[in-house]
Amino acid sequence: MKNNSQNFGKLGEELAQTFLKKKGYKILATNWRYKKLEIDIIGENDDFIVFFEVKSRTNDAFGDPEMFVTRKKQKFLITAADRYLQEGMIEKEARFDIIAVLQINNKLTLKHLEGAFYPTVK
């Protein structure tokens, strides 16, 4: 059985999908996996293929949800996204966004951070 934070995380991803569809994104995949890496949502609009990380929290005591997408997590997402692009032979420009879902008491907020981070060249 899932615990409450897992259930809220799933709800956050569902809310994000609904939000993105209303914004005109086409959802290509959800919970896409490459080895042990996972991308929450892969979508596209006219200009970009977008890899979304959804962070859901029921309080902000330790900071906003988006603060929990660490550099390590970003590297994992970039690696998985690169694999997705290679497998699909996708030429479209890629972007990495974060959807932050925060519920405090009964107030739910959703924040879309476009271009939240970028792959860095080593």
Mean pLDDT of 118-122: 69
Q: In CATH, what number is assigned to the domain containing residue 99?
A: 3.40.1350.10
pLDDT at 3: 59
Q: Where are the beta strands (DSSP E) in 1-122?
A: 26-34, 37-44, 48-57, 93-104, 107-117
25 is a domain residue: yes
Containing structural domain, residue 39: 4-115
pLDDT at 5: 65
pTM for the whole structure: 0.90
15 is a domain residue: yes
Nearest to 42 by CA among 59, 54, 55: 54
67 is a domain residue: yes
Chain-centroid distance of CA 53 in Å reads: 2
Average pLDDT of the residues of the chain: 89
Higher pLDDT, 32 or 59: 32
Tally the domains of the chain. 1
Q: Where are the beta strands (DSSP E) in 45-106?
A: 48-57, 93-104
- What is the distance between the alpha carbons of residues 43 and 51, in angstroms, rounded to a whole number? 7
- The pLDDT tens digits of the residues spanning 35-46 come to 999 999 999 999
